[in-house]
Structure 1
Amino acid sequence: MTRFAPQVKAAWLLPNPSKAFSDITVGLLVGALLAISYLYWLAPLLETLQRTFGDFVPPGAVLPTVSSSIVLFFIANVLLAPLVEETLYRGIAIPLLTTHLGALWAVVLTCVFFGLLHWAGGLWYMLLAGVVAGGAFAGLFYWRGGVLAPFAAHFALNLIEFIYAWHAQNQA
């Protein structure tokens, strides 16, 4: 990892306080919109795709699985995933791939690998995570010029997803 230390340091070089506040605010709003879209439209679409075309994860199996170990879900998904994934995909991979392949291929490749990282949710979940979330986070990275906005968006998305899973677990 020391080979990428300069990229990590550059990725997390925070902007001035007013831009940082703006990046965090924009990111939180985008993440909340992604979460609402997922909970109300994309999750039902995911189940429809799983029922219609099949998947290696049964329809409706993701939420009960994650909410069964809610503390681990919080640590891994809310605390660690946004930090690690945004550093890796948006902070290191996009700048390096942009230099060698151009911005379009950098976004495409990071979305593909971001989607593949979400394999536990099934084929359709990988596609949705890669295209929708990965695309939104990449767009935020380019628009805002750093990882702070995509990190805030990823954090908000995963936090709202956690709250939903926790609430569903307590309702059962």
Structure 2
Amino acid sequence: MLFPGFIDSHIHIIGGGGEGGDKTRTPELTLTGATAGMTTIVGVIGTDGTTRTMPDLIAKAHALEEEGISCYVHTGSYQVPVKMLTEKIEDDLILIDNIIDVGEIAIADHRSSQPTWQEMTKIAAAARIGGLLSGKAGIVNVHVGDSQSKLKVLEEVVEYTDIPIC
């Protein structure tokens, strides 16, 4: 039986974790770990946008591509302001082929930088413009934690702006 290759849209290719200190950091993805039927993956940074960086993420994506895995990445991590490879979200999307969207930005989570709806609006607008100009989707990937506020920040973006939600 033949199956098409699978896509995993959320892999910590340069490792993850670390919320319990350095000893809780997980190692970066190996080719063996990526080949369980996956032909395309999307790398994310996650919580640690300080010691896990965009240059590292892009370099790992390129290394996986050299091994035959299609690899894309989000620009940014849980935190706002978004840590990019260039100076602007739009530039990351337009100029860097591997960068396909923004994220994963955390909301309603104790590990989040607690972004306001105004900050999320600016991020979404930049992603939209970058997406339009690059031919990419211009999506903002959001991690939603278990806080009482849930989707409130995103609901306010929808209520107070003209940015499309899909």
Q: Normalising by structure 1, report the TM-score.
A: 0.24
**Structure having greater relative contact order (Cα 8 Å, sep ≥ 6):** 1
Specify which structure has the higher proportion of strand. 2
Q: Normalising by structure 2, report the TM-score.
A: 0.24
